[in-house]
Amino acid sequence: MRATVIYGERDIRSEQVPDPVLSGEGKDAIVRVSAACVCGSDLWPYRGVTHPKMPKRIGHEFVGVVEEVASGVTRVKPGDLVIAPFYDCCGECVNCRNGFTTSCLEIGWFGGVDHWGHAVDGAQGELVRVPHADGALTVVPGGADADLLPHLLTLSDVFLTGHHAAVSAGVRKGSTVAVVGDGAVGLSAVLAAHRLGAERIVAMSRHASRQEVAREFGATDVVAERGDEGIAILKDMFDGVGPDAVLECVGTKESMDQALRSARPGGQVGFVGVPNGGPELPMRTMFDTNVGVRGGVAPVRSYVDEILPEVLDGSLRPGRVFDQTFALADAASAYAAMDERRAIKSLLLP
Amino acid sequence: MRATVIYGERDIRSEQVPDPVLSGEGKDAIVRVSAACVCGSDLWPYRGVTHPKMPKRIGHEFVGVVEEVASGVTRVKPGDLVIAPFYDCCGECVNCRNGFTTSCLEIGWFGGVDHWGHAVDGAQGELVRVPHADGALTVVPGGADADLLPHLLTLSDVFLTGHHAAVSAGVRKGSTVAVVGDGAVGLSAVLAAHRLGAERIVAMSRHASRQEVAREFGATDVVAERGDEGIAILKDMFDGVGPDAVLECVGTKESMDQALRSARPGGQVGFVGVPNGGPELPMRTMFDTNVGVRGGVAPVRSYVDEILPEVLDGSLRPGRVFDQTFALADAASAYAAMDERRAIKSLLLP
């Protein structure tokens, strides 16, 4: 089958690799990918910011159709259209039951290994083995038309990661919100805050195309300034003290610093940007201001069941973050488009 | 009048100082102190851990009777028994309205200065000037018998600081909770968690007398071990993953580290220990585990109205943390008793 492999900095190749096979653990399924995509975090090894052992398979977001299931799989069957979270989880352990499926006691990672040490395929390929099919996969009842696929695909990671930022920051009806980061996750966080009833949502963005999506997603205001200047503008907009919630969707030292300093006293930062080399949080600042910090790797599987109906009935259209589509065989171009910020997020179709 | 002055490490003196006078700003009151006490944070300059400019007046917790009010004061009148928060606040600004009176835009500090730069007395004295009498003081309707004073005094800081830890950690009916720190704040946090309906409360304590108070306050379990060993025991007690909420009531690097590593994935640390020289919070750990951190300087004034009725009707008895009583003139002994851990918390009576 065809799959995407990263060989090094800005070296993405589409290659023939062996088809996955069931592991023998009895809980897995093989899924034929209908749609996948490139994540902002995929750009890190691509840009040489992180240095995993390469060459390696890559990609962790996909929807697809089940081809084959192991003997112990009961909820998922061949022919089902399924949404995969960006990780594998059992759905049964205490952390899964608590709604933190990203801390599953049998966690596995696409493009890495499963709980038992078997290899797991990256999602940017034709076929993917899912180690806990019953626990990880969500069946889309009755399947879906092709035009729904991009929206469903956002439930694999990007929209629900934005949602996690909003939930972690305690966004609710009437909240005032600022979103730091105008990538696909930041834009998704705008939409998620809007869906949760935020009264005013400020997108921090300096790119016209992204500002446009932010407004479509419910942003009431756009602020292009960053750092001290951006913070001063935000404070001015909200009684001189800042908004209730700040959603940090980048993961750099600068973005977290901006988020922490923007929230009003007693406000909350919800963060989903993968912390990339810093910073550590300043306790004394948090103590003095009572600004809380909560978030992390988004337990998207725990949110799918709540959100899926709104995607299926068309009331929620998070797939708008995909503004360019590429053939799986041309993954290199999909990466380059995002790297050069020509694309917000690249969709990959087989 | 008599007041307590700190001159240096382990040098506390009770001295004659000038009586306070109204400032001319028109919002203040002079209060005759009925009861005050020593805070764990007062021990820091006492122990030479922090080095404020000395000699200085000290103390920030008191209840008392209003003697005199300025022309602009309308809610508080001479003869009223009042509870002061450990800080001064206006009660009207956006942060006060948001429930974060510790971030009042006109904040002042007992033993420091008020918003206008006038000196404010320390609470361990016979008289204290309160800069925003209407905003800061809570009138106890009908006054109170002397045996209620210790309980009312805890609403000045210690009980409501423990309450803030529990609220910040999201403790609710059915929560599982661990409390790090068995000082008066930690014990108060146990009582606050119990009051909020926590199902199981573990007090981390190695002192028999404090364990006893913890059990009276609602602790269901006591763990004496600390560090890795304490964390392992806690995790074992709660499904192998740890409790929902951990209340950090110390403020050291070790206590915060223990709190962060004890909470279950997706759990929350509520912290009220004044961070004393570190640590900064490890973002990557928080990201991986989704453990949130929230808390800080407790906005006690914002909580008093909710809690006071339960103290007045006797259903809540937080004053149990005072296990030794001293005359104001003997404040030095009150400090020594806490410093040497002979007292949990020292009450000072004029």
Q: Are A308 and A329 a contacting pair, CB within 8 Å?
A: no
For residue A106, pLDDT over 90 is answered with: yes
Q: Are A137 and A125 a contacting pair, CB within 8 Å?
A: no
ipTM of the complex: 0.95
Query: Considering only CB atoms, which chain B residues are within 8 Å of A168?
Result: 290, 292
With pLDDT > 70 as the criterion, what percentage of chain B qualifies? Answer: 99
Are the beta carbons of B283 and A278 separated by less than 8 Å? yes
B103, B239, B284 member nearest A275 (Cβ): B284
Round the average pLDDT of chain A to a whole number and report it.
96
Give B319's strand partners: none
Which is it for strands B221-223 and B200-204: parallel, antiparallel or unpaired?
Answer: parallel
Are the beta carbons of B275 and A287 separated by less than 8 Å? yes
Are the beta carbons of B283 and A274 separated by less than 8 Å? no
pLDDT at res. B277: 62
Whether B264 and chain A come into contact, CB under 8 Å, resolves to yes
Q: Give the residue among B64, B87, B37 at the shortest CA–CA distance from B299.
A: B87
pLDDT at res. A278: 61
For residue A101, pLDDT over 80 is answered with: yes
Query: Considering only CB atoms, which chain B residues are within 8 Å of A100?
Result: 264-266, 290
pLDDT at res. A277: 62
Distance between CA atoms of A135 and A167, rounded to whole angstroms? 23
Question: How near does any CA of chain B get to the CA of A93, in Å?
Answer: 10
pLDDT at res. B273: 87
- Residue B136 is classified by DSSP as H
Whether B276 and chain A come into contact, CB under 8 Å, resolves to no
Query: Considering only CB atoms, which chain B residues are within 8 Å of A288?
Result: 296-297
∠ Cα A330 A336 A341 (to 5°): 135
Question: How near does any CA of chain A get to the CA of B104, in Å?
Answer: 9
For residue A263, pLDDT over 90 is answered with: yes
Query: Considering only CB atoms, which chain A residues are within 8 Å of B103?
Result: 241, 265-266, 289-290
Residue B318, preceding bond cis, omega within 30 degrees? no
Report residue A279's pLDDT band, with 50, 70 and 90 as the boundaries: low
Q: Which residue does chain B place closest to A302, by CA atoms?
A: B266
Q: Are B299 and B102 a contacting pair, CB within 8 Å?
A: yes
Specify the CATH superfamily of domain A2-157+299-349: Medium-chain alcohol dehydrogenases, catalytic domain (3.90.180.10)
Distance between CA atoms of A6 and B81, rounded to whole angstroms? 72
Query: Considering only CB atoms, which chain B residues are within 8 Å of A296?
Result: 286-291
pLDDT at res. A199: 98
pLDDT tens for A116-165 read 999 899 999 999 999 999 999 999 999 999 999 999 999 999 999 999 99
Whether B161 and chain A come into contact, CB under 8 Å, resolves to no
Which residues neighbour A141 within 8 Å (Cβ) at sequence distance 6 or greater? A312
Q: Give the residue among A329, A328, A325 at the shortest CA–CA distance from A337.
A: A325
Specify the CATH superfamily of domain A161-295: NAD(P)-binding Rossmann-like Domain (3.40.50.720)
DSSP string, A202-268: EEE---HHHHHHHHHTT-SEEE---HHHHHHHHHHHTTTT--SEEEE-S-SHHHHHHHHHHSPTT-E
pLDDT at res. A280: 83
Distance between CA atoms of A7 and B90, rounded to whole angstroms? 62
Are the beta carbons of B290 and A99 separated by less than 8 Å? no
Q: Are B301 and B276 a contacting pair, CB within 8 Å?
A: no
pLDDT at res. B278: 61
Query: Considering only CB atoms, which chain A residues are within 8 Å of B94?
Result: 239-241, 264
Query: Considering only CB atoms, which chain A residues are within 8 Å of B264?
Result: 94-95, 98, 100
Whether B176 and chain A come into contact, CB under 8 Å, resolves to no
- Against a cut of 0.90, is the pTM above it? yes
Whether A258 and chain B come into contact, CB under 8 Å, resolves to no
Query: Considering only CB atoms, which chain A residues are within 8 Å of B240?
Result: 94
Q: What's the rounded mean pLDDT across residues A237-251? A: 96
For B340, other C-beta atoms within 10 Å of its C-beta total 8
Consecutive H or E run containing B255: helix B253-262
Chain B from 98 to 157: CB within 8 A of any A CB: 98-100, 102-103, 105
Q: Are A277 and A107 a contacting pair, CB within 8 Å?
A: no
Which residues neighbour B180 within 8 Å (Cβ) at sequence distance 6 or greater? B186, B204, B246, B247, B248, B249, B250, B255, B258, B259, B262
pLDDT at res. B282: 87
Domain ranges of chain A: 2-157+299-349, 161-295
pLDDT at res. B91: 98
Most B-contacting residue of A89, A164, A294, A300 (CB-CB within 10 A), to test interface: A294
The reply to whether domains A2-157+299-349 and A161-295 share a CATH topology is no
Are the beta carbons of B287 and A264 separated by less than 8 Å? no
| CATH topology classification for B159-295 | Rossmann fold (3.40.50)
pLDDT at res. B280: 83
Are the beta carbons of B296 and A287 separated by less than 8 Å? yes
Report, as ranges of residue numbers, the positions in chain B whose pLDDT lies below 70: 277-279
Whether A95 and chain B come into contact, CB under 8 Å, resolves to yes
pLDDT at res. A252: 87
Query: Considering only CB atoms, which chain A residues are within 8 Å of B275?
Result: 283-284, 287
For residue A273, pLDDT over 90 is answered with: no
B99, B103, B265 member nearest A100 (Cβ): B265
Are the beta carbons of A95 and B241 separated by less than 8 Å? yes
